[in-house]
Amino acid sequence: VSGGQDTVGLRCPAHPVAIALLRAFKGGQGGVAAPSANKFGHVSPTLAQHELDEFGADGSVAMVLDGGAAQVGIESTIVDLSRLATHGPVLLRPGHVSAEAIAAVIDQLPSAPDAAAPRASGTLESHYAPHTPVAMQDTASLAQTLARLHDAGRKVALIHYSDLPPTHAGERLPATPEGFAHALYAALRAMDGKGADVILVEAPPQGGAWLGVNDRLRRAAHGSTGIVHGLLNRDAGV
């Protein structure tokens, strides 16, 4: 339950299906200890079908409780409250509940994690990653990059929110932090199945409301550093 640490993470869900499960388990007097419903380091599921796709083939999951599409889309915020006397509250993983929303309740803004902070889910540098390499580019340079990759014969799967030219495959997401977060993982999974050389993501705006989305994208792209340069220059021997 504690993952070998002297702290434990507790989640109190709001989803009616999760609440019904907890009430049914030991007459509401027990809890459920469980990992995320995805293989380590991979993109999190936001639909029951995602879990069936990931685990159904090897028979490791006997049943999926389908509560419908994920309401938020990215994982929950994790706050460390185990070192209040020395460090105060610490934001281990940004999510839908912002640091400002937390501060409104506890009258203190959570700080960034330090080296001694407890380990938390989803905080590896490379995480939430599909099998296809992921790269992010700002809106201003993306159209030129798409044209150069097209001229080089590369297949691009594009996740974007602005008007951009068509590519091998693409999915346009809402230009709001809530809408983008809700659709992000389903889009990554869909683009991962398009046989592209790279998944290019139009970099979202910076700022507090986009913190969770940018955190997930940065981790998804971490292991693919230099992929665009490599695709453009592979045949040139650079």
Return the SS3 of 136. Answer: strand
Looking at residues 229-235, what average pLDDT do you find?
84
Task: Band the pLDDT of 53: cuts 50, 70, 90.
Answer: confident
| Whether pLDDT at 16 is above 90 | yes
Q: Looking at per-residue confidence, does 209 or 159 come out higher?
A: 159
Predicted local distance difference test score (pLDDT) of residue 238: 42
Predicted local distance difference test score (pLDDT) of residue 237: 45
* Residue among 135, 53, 101 nearest 211 (CA): 101
Return the SS3 of 44. Answer: coil
Buried b (16+ CB within 10 A) or exposed e, 154-175: bbbbbbbbeebeebbbbbebee
Predicted local distance difference test score (pLDDT) of residue 235: 58
* Residue among 194, 192, 172 nearest 183 (CA): 172
Q: Looking at per-residue confidence, does 122 or 211 come out higher?
A: 211
| Whether pLDDT at 149 is above 70 | yes
Phi and psi angles of residue 28, each rounded to the nearest 5 degrees, phi first: 80, 10
Return the SS3 of 202. Answer: strand
| Whole-angstrom distance, CA of residue 169 vs CA of residue 197 | 11
Q: Looking at per-residue confidence, does 14 or 181 come out higher?
A: 181
A 10 A CB-CB count for 186 gives 20
| Whole-angstrom distance, CA of residue 122 vs CA of residue 216 | 9
| Whole-angstrom distance, CA of residue 230 vs CA of residue 44 | 28
| Whether pLDDT at 236 is above 80 | no
Return the SS3 of 18. Answer: helix
Phi and psi angles of residue 144, each rounded to the nearest 5 degrees, phi first: -65, -40
What is the Cα Rg of the chain in Å? Answer: 20
* Segment among 1-10, 85-94, 101-110 with least mean pLDDT: 1-10
| Whether pLDDT at 26 is above 70 | yes
**Whole-number Cα distances in Å, 132 to 5, 135, 198:** 33, 10, 6
Task: Band the pLDDT of 78: cuts 50, 70, 90.
Answer: very high
* Residue among 118, 121, 136, 226 nearest 180 (CA): 136
For the chain, which domains are there? 76-120 (no CATH), 134-233 (3.40.50.11030)
Looking at residues 42-46, what average pLDDT do you find?
89
Find out whether 78 and 121 touch, Cβ atoms under 8 Å: yes
| Whole-angstrom distance, CA of residue 13 vs CA of residue 102 | 16
pLDDT tens sequence across 120-148? 887 878 888 899 999 999 999 999 999 99
Report the percentage of the chain scoring pLDDT > 70.
98
pLDDT tens sequence across 153-201? 999 999 999 999 999 999 999 999 999 999 999 999 999 999 999 999 9
Phi and psi angles of residue 91, each rounded to the nearest 5 degrees, phi first: -85, 105
